[in-house]
Amino acid sequence: MRIQKLVIYGFGQHEDIQIDLEDGINVFFGLNEAGKTTIQQFILSVLFGFPLRNQGLLRYEPKGGGRHGGQVHILHPEFGKVIVERIKGKSAGEVTVYFENGTRGDEETLKKVLYRYDRASFESIFSFTILQLQNFDKMTEEELSRTLLASGTTGVDAMNKLEQRASKEMNSLFKKSGKNPEMNIKIEEIRALEQTLKDSRSQIDQYEPSILRISEIEQELKRINEEESELKIQNEQFAKYRQVKPLIEQQQELKAKLSNLSQNSFPKEGIRRFEGLKDRVQELTIQITQLKQNIQQSKGQAFEKDPNEHIKQLESTLAKETEWHHLKLRKQQLANERDQATRDMEQQMRLIGIKDKEHFSQVVTMDVSLQKEEHFQNIVNDLSQVDESIRYENQGLSRLQSELEESNRNLAELKEEAPTNEEIELASKKSVLINQLAELKALQHVSQASEASSNKSNIPFMVSGLILLTSIIGAALIGNWLIAGFGLVLTGLILFLLMKGNSSTPQAKKTDYHEDITNMEQELAKAEQMANKVMNFNGKQKQLLDQHVEKEHVRAKLSENLNRLTQKKLEANQHLNEFLMAYGFDGLTQTQLFTELFKRIRLIQELHQTIAQKSSEHQEVIEEIHHQIAMMIELTGETLHENNAYHRLREITSEWKNRQNKQVFAEEKTTEWNQQLSEKQKLLEVQTNEIDALWVEAAVSDEAAFYEADAAYQTKQALQQELNAIEMQLHSIGEVVLPQLSEEEQNSHLENVDDRLASLEKMRHELLDERAMLKQQTNSLLSDEHYGNVLQQFEQKKTELAELAHKWAVNKAVMEAIKQTMDNLKEKRLPFVLEKSQQFFTHLTGNRYEALEVNEEGIFEAVNAQGIRFRIAELSQATKEQAYISLRFALAESLIETVPLPVIMDDPFVHFDQYRVNQMVQLMTNLESNHQFLYFTCHEEMKSIWPNAHVIDVAALQKERSVPSI
């Protein structure tokens, strides 16, 4: 199965991007915070679902909002092209699987596409990160071996976790010498309950004596109750008499007081009503007095004259305030413009160097017409052209001077390289050596020909032809045809001698010229080398001398042109100075300033006219302002200043308007006050009549008598209520039999009865306490289920102990089953994975370790080339990681036919040296034909370490945002 494309709608910091992947190795490169882990989690989330809230994993909600999720395009060996789309929905997201035939599927279909693998199973085989590798240095030897074993066999990781959980539960249930495990606690509780049951059985024997004593107490209490009832009846009679006696005396006293009071009636709530009317009358009296005073004061506040006309004049003047401010603004603006023009003109005067007023007058009246400027510009242009020509000639002269200096240096350097006299003499011997070499070779050929056959008559001709050909070639090489003539003569001579030798001495002795020819050839090679050197030196020297003479001629011509242009420039400068002196200027040496001079003079003339115009307008505005101030002074009668004239005018207008408003308001208030005064007077009359009615009802004539009548009536009402209460008490007590005893005898009898009642009460309490204690003891033995509860708890604890023992036994059985399963995995599946991992491990470690095995204790061991075994904990961090990666790759290789899922790696090589990294790269390159690798890294050198890898720059993805729709 291959992932062909990733389409991210919104996932973490990534939004609306598309990533195309290829078979083999795909490298995701990006610096920290670029979003590499986000892409890795996107692949896992779309394929296996968004993490649930309680899993503690990030869901990577889109930072910019929008759709959460995306698509993973897959090329499946069974289903063909498949698109897995997952977006935000239920807890794990809503997934849709699109097939190339147009059908769709759901979560169950996706499980078939992913070979029924969930996220945990996938991450245990096909996905690993640097964080998993970094934890190796914190693991024990057993944990390391289990981790490696889990990486080499599918399902072992889950069984390891189950075994650890079972072992943990067993330890939490029972330990031989432990105190906190549950079974140890239950055993101690059962022992304590056994002792409690023994104590409860000893208390049951005390039941019968307690029952007999309770019966005796019941009889004694009955007797005390009867005696107490008789004494209480006697006490009640004495108590009623003592209670009634003061009530009767008080009743008689109250009746006597009521007979002395004569006030039989009084208005209901009379005092409250009277005081309320009294307060209202006083308030009305004050209000009437105040209204009269206000009316009197308003009559004295009338205006002396009607201010309407004066206010209209003030408002008319105020309406011109905008015009006034415009005048002031115009005044300031004109002054500023005049001052600015003056400053600008003074600046221009300083720039062009005006010396005094006379010079200024001359400049102001100067003719700066276009005709003058054109004439002036022609002169300046001529001068500029002369300057440009002089600059060009100077540059050429300077460049030519540099070339002459370079030519002199080259000649000097060439002279240092000149051949010596010995080398020249050796080069001159070249032609002689060529002839001598040709002669020796001819003699060698003649000698060989004589020895081979004396009957061959054409040998002299061949030798002569060879000598003649050699002479011609030598003459052509050195360019001297005299050698060819010499060769021709030599050829004839040799031919004559050979012919003579063949006829006279056919048995001549053989001569060997080979060594002489070799020495001659070496000497000729040196002579040719020296001849070439001499010829090159002469050619270079002639070329440099010719160039030097030509440049000297050009320099003389340039100097002549430069003198002519300099004279022309002096004449043009003199003409310009005469032109400028006529207008009072001197000292200008730069022609580019002459054009600027005309501009400055024109600007000064314009500014001079502007200053005159602004000064005239400014004076007119000042006169208009003074005129308006005079009108305002006449209207207000006050001395006004220009800066606050209208401000004071507004204040005066406001004062006149306020006085006018006060007059209108006073008239309105006077009318209102007169109306209120009439109403208050009528209301005062009504309140006074009500007070008189209260006095008539109370039968009094003044306020003091009214209060006295209220006090007398309240006293009589209180006495009557008290008398009624006493009579009700007497009625509730009922009939009382008056005792025949004297007061002292009554008191003595009451004291005896009280003492006896107290004695009986004390006896009752003692008996009740004893009875309660005995009943509690008997009830605790009969009704209290303590013994039964303890017995029940004892049986329950035994049952709980049995259940815990069963759990312990189950966990023990699980551990034995896991152990047996692990042994089976080691015997059946693990060998193939170990064999493959050994190959990978040997390759990654550069053949330093030849084997990776599991010993009888279940501990991984690495065997080096010498046969020495190293336990996994003894290896370095990088070597441990290489063993782990080897097992992972071997397991993925073993599943290639059944579960061909891609391998996801997050920078797992950080602890490797360069050699081990290269070994890993080579291993992945060998495996990329069967597996698709997604490698995430922040190290830039990893981008180019695989020659054929597909590199994705994560930082550049946001610049290529484009998400197609299905």
Q: Write out the DSSP string of 318-332.
A: HTTHHHHHHHHHHHH
What is the tens place of the pLDDT at every residue in 645-698?
A: 777 777 777 877 777 777 777 777 778 888 888 888 888 888 888 878 877 777
Distance of alpha carbon 377 from alpha carbon 375, whole angstroms: 5
In the numeric block, the tokens 């009359």 are attached to 685
Query: Quick one: what percent of the chain has pLDDT higher than 90?
Result: 7
Distance of alpha carbon 492 from alpha carbon 471, whole angstroms: 13
Q: Which helix (H) or strand (E) holds 305?
A: none
Distance of alpha carbon 625 from alpha carbon 332, whole angstroms: 12
Residue among 732, 586, 760 nearest 225 (CA) = 760
Choose between 462 and 913: higher pLDDT: 913
Contact 531, 427 (CB under 8 A): yes
pLDDT at site 155:
47
What is the tens place of the pLDDT at every residue in 202-232?
A: 665 566 677 777 778 888 888 888 877 777 7
Contact 160, 899 (CB under 8 A): no
Q: How far is CA 947 from CA 26, 128, 918, 925, in A?
A: 11, 23, 12, 9
Cα radius of gyration (the chain): 68
Contact 537, 418 (CB under 8 A): yes
**Torsion over CA: 505, 506, 508, 514 (sign):** positive
Would you tell me how many other CB atoms lie within 10 Å of the CB of residue 60? 20
Residue among 472, 448, 468, 470 nearest 459 (CA) = 448
pLDDT at site 98:
95
pLDDT at site 565:
81
What is the tens place of the pLDDT at every residue in 458-513?
A: 555 666 666 666 666 665 555 555 655 666 666 666 666 666 555 444 444 445 67
Q: How far is CA 6 from the centre of its chain?
A: 25
What is the tens place of the pLDDT at every residue in 293-342?
A: 877 776 655 554 456 777 777 777 777 778 877 888 888 888 888 888 88
Query: Quick one: what percent of the chain has pLDDT higher than 70?
Result: 78
Distance of alpha carbon 673 from alpha carbon 670, whole angstroms: 5
pLDDT at site 482:
61
DSSP 239: H
Q: Which helix (H) or strand (E) holds 872?
A: none
**Torsion over CA: 200, 206, 212, 218 (sign):** negative
**3-state SS of the chain: helix, strand, coil percent to 5?**
70, 10, 20
pTM (predicted TM-score): 0.37
Residue type, 370: L
Quick one: average pLDDT of 178-189?
77
Q: Are strands 860-864 and 869-871 parallel, antiparallel or unpaired?
A: antiparallel
HEC readout, 688-748: HHHHHHHHHHHCCCCHHHHHHHHHHHHHHHHHHHHHHHHHHHHHHHCCCCCCCCCHHHHHH
Quick one: average pLDDT of 80-94?
90
- Among the ranges 5-9, 571-575, 737-741, which has the highest mean pLDDT value? 5-9
Quick one: average pLDDT of 928-939?
89
Quick one: average pLDDT of 883-895?
81
Distance of alpha carbon 326 from alpha carbon 333, whole angstroms: 10
Choose between 467 and 431: higher pLDDT: 431
Residue among 882, 861, 875 nearest 924 (CA) = 882
pLDDT at site 153:
46
Contact 259, 723 (CB under 8 A): no
pLDDT at site 95:
93
Quick one: average pLDDT of 531-545?
81
